[in-house]
Amino acid sequence: MEKIPLTAAGFSKLDAELKHLKSVERPAIIRAISEAREHGDLSENAEYHSAKEKQSFIEGRVKELEGVISLAEVINPARMSGNVKFGATVYLIDEDTDEEKTFQIVGEYEADIEQGRLNMKSPLARALIGKDAGDSVEVRTPGGDKAYEIARIEFK
């Protein structure tokens, strides 16, 4: 199986979510199912069906997280330098608007565009990987073609 690259922070976040699901959510849903069963006829018991559905979601997420964690390869960006690669924090300047944007290149399980964590498989990340500060990149986005200049690269 292929390893899944994660930053230390991303690994910790996924591990914390897994522990929370196992120690808090799972016991709570078991109690909710037990209480719903006590209300009698299960065929028309909305609380029971809702609790079972939530249990199914929780168990699915637990299996997904266990799979990711078992295949995780934790990469420490602070030990890297050079051009853009996994873990790099890239400071970009939009060549059309001079707007500055900052992204960290991360794996798909920790990507969150609103937090500035860019999936390494995204079009922008693929265009940035291997480039150096001062380079320009062009990327086709759903909103049209965009051009960026790499202002600087940090590994934190």
pLDDT at 79: 83
Domain boundaries, the chain: 4-75, 78-155
DSSP 141: E
pLDDT number for residue 25: 96
Report pLDDT digits (tens) over 90-102: 999 999 899 999 9
Whole-structure pTM value? 0.82
128: CB partners within 8 A, 6+ apart? 84, 90, 103, 105, 137, 150
Q: Is the pLDDT of residue 45 over 80?
A: no
Measured CA to CA, the distance from residue 116 to residue 9 in angstroms comes to 14
pLDDT tens digits, one per residue of 1-35:
789 999 999 999 999 999 999 999 999 999 999 88
**How distant, in Å, are the alpha carbons of 82, 114, 124, 152 from that of 101?**
20, 11, 12, 11
The amino acid that residue 106 corresponds to is V
**CATH, domain range 78-155:** 3.10.50.30
**CATH architecture observed for domain 4-75:** Orthogonal Bundle (1.10)
What pLDDT is recorded for position 124? Answer: 93
